[in-house]
Amino acid sequence: MLRSSLFGVGYVLAYVALDALSYVQPLLKLGITPWNPDAGLTLAFLLLRGWRQTPWAAVAALSAEICVRGAPAAWIALICASIIIGAGYGGLALTLARRGLDHLLASRRAALEFSAGAALTALAVSGGYAATFVAAGVLPASSAVDAIERNWVGDLNGILTLTPLLLAAPLARRALPALRKHALLIASQGTGLAVLILLLFGVRPMGDLPLAYVLFAPVIWITLTWGVIGASAATLFIQISLLAIAAPHLSGSSLVEIQYLLVTLALTALLLGAVLAERASALARVATGEAEQRALLAAAPDAVLATNLAGRITSANIAAQRLFGATAGELVGASLVQWLPEADLQDRLERRRLSGRRADGGAFSAEIACVRLDPPARAGYLLIARDMTDHDYAQTQLRERDTALARAMRFALAGELATALTHELNQPITALVSYLRAVEILAAPLEVQDLRVHETLRKATREALRASDILKRLRDFYRGGALNRAMIEIRPLIADVVSAFSDRASRLGVELAQDIRVAHEVCVDRIQLQMVLHNLLSNALDALAETAPGSRRVHIAVSMEGERLRLTVEDTGCGVPPEIRGQLFEPFVTNKFDGMGLGLAISRSLLRSQGGELRLDASRSEDPEACGTRFVVELPLALARNAA
Partner 1 sequence: MNDAIVFVIDDDASVCDSINLILSLKGMRTQVFSSAEDFLETYRPEWRGCILTDLQMPGMSGLDLQRALHDRGILLPVVVLTAHGDVPTTRVAMKGGAFDFLEKPVNDEVLLDVLKSAIREDDHRHAAERAEDATRSRLARLTPRERAVLDLLIEGLSQREIAARLTISPRTVEVYKARMMEKLQCRSLAELIRIAL
Beta bridge partners of 352: 368
Cis bond before residue 376 (omega within 30° of 0): yes
CB 533, min distance to partner 1, A: 21
First to last CA, the chain: 68
The pairs formed by 114-118 with CB atoms below 8 angstroms and a separation of 24 or more are 114/270, 115/160, 115/267, 115/270, 115/271, 117/92, 118/43, 118/92, 118/155, 118/156, 118/159, 118/160, 118/163
Number of residues that bind partner 1 (CB under 8 A): 28
CB 459, min distance to partner 1, A: 15
CB 441, min distance to partner 1, A: 5
Report d(CA 87, CA 54) in Å as an integer: 7
Instruction: Report the amino acid identity of residue 241.
Output: S
User: Quick one: 169 or 438, whose CB is closer to partner 1?
Assistant: 438
E runs forming strands in 494-579: 511-516, 521-525, 553-561, 564-571
Calculate Rg over the CA atoms of the chain.
Answer: 51
User: Quick one: 472 or 526, whose CB is closer to partner 1?
Assistant: 472
CB 462, min distance to partner 1, A: 11
User: Quick one: 46 or 601, whose CB is closer to partner 1?
Assistant: 601
Report d(CA 607, CA 483) in Å as an integer: 11
Question: What residues between 411 and 470 interact with partner 1 by CB under 8 A?
Answer: 419, 422-424, 426-435, 437-438, 441-442, 464-465, 468
Residue 439 near residue 457, CB atoms below 8 Å: yes
Q: Which of 364, 370, 336 is nearest to 351 (CA)?
A: 370
CB 426, min distance to partner 1, A: 4
8-state DSSP, 378: P
Report d(CA 266, CA 336) in Å as an integer: 57
Q: Which of 472, 566, 581, 615 binds partner 1 (CB under 8 A)?
A: 472
What is the separation of C-alpha 458 from the centre of its chain, rounded to a whole number of angstroms?
88
CB 448, min distance to partner 1, A: 19
User: Quick one: 149 or 586, whose CB is closer to partner 1?
Assistant: 586
Q: Which of 528, 535, 525 is nearest to 488 (CA)?
A: 525
Report d(CA 105, CA 595) in Å as an integer: 85
User: Quick one: 416 or 521, whose CB is closer to partner 1?
Assistant: 416
User: Quick one: 472 or 564, whose CB is closer to partner 1?
Assistant: 472
Report d(CA 98, CA 111) in Å as an integer: 14
CB 435, min distance to partner 1, A: 5
Task: Draw the binding track, 525-564, toward partner 1 (x: CB under 8 A; -: no contact).
Answer: ----------------------------------------
User: Quick one: 238 or 464, whose CB is closer to partner 1?
Assistant: 464
Question: What residues between 481 and 500 interact with partner 1 by CB under 8 A?
Answer: none
CB 523, min distance to partner 1, A: 19
User: Quick one: 344 or 476, whose CB is closer to partner 1?
Assistant: 476
Beta carbons within 10 angstroms of residue 361's beta carbon: 7
- Inter-CA distances, 465 with 321, 427, 474, 582, Å: 73, 12, 14, 32
Question: What residues between 278 and 307 interact with partner 1 by CB under 8 A?
Answer: none
Question: What residues between 570 and 609 interact with partner 1 by CB under 8 A?
Answer: 582-583, 608-609
CB 625, min distance to partner 1, A: 27
CB 442, min distance to partner 1, A: 7
Residue 248 near residue 297, CB atoms below 8 Å: no
Residue 500 near residue 534, CB atoms below 8 Å: yes
CB 488, min distance to partner 1, A: 24
User: Quick one: 292 or 622, whose CB is closer to partner 1?
Assistant: 622
Report d(CA 606, CA 603) in Å as an integer: 5
Beta carbons within 10 angstroms of residue 210's beta carbon: 8
User: Quick one: 150 or 604, whose CB is closer to partner 1?
Assistant: 604
User: Quick one: 315 or 591, whose CB is closer to partner 1?
Assistant: 591
> Where do contacts with partner 1 occur on this chain (CB under 8 A)?
419, 422-424, 426-435, 437-438, 441-442, 464-465, 468, 472, 479, 582-583, 608-609, 611
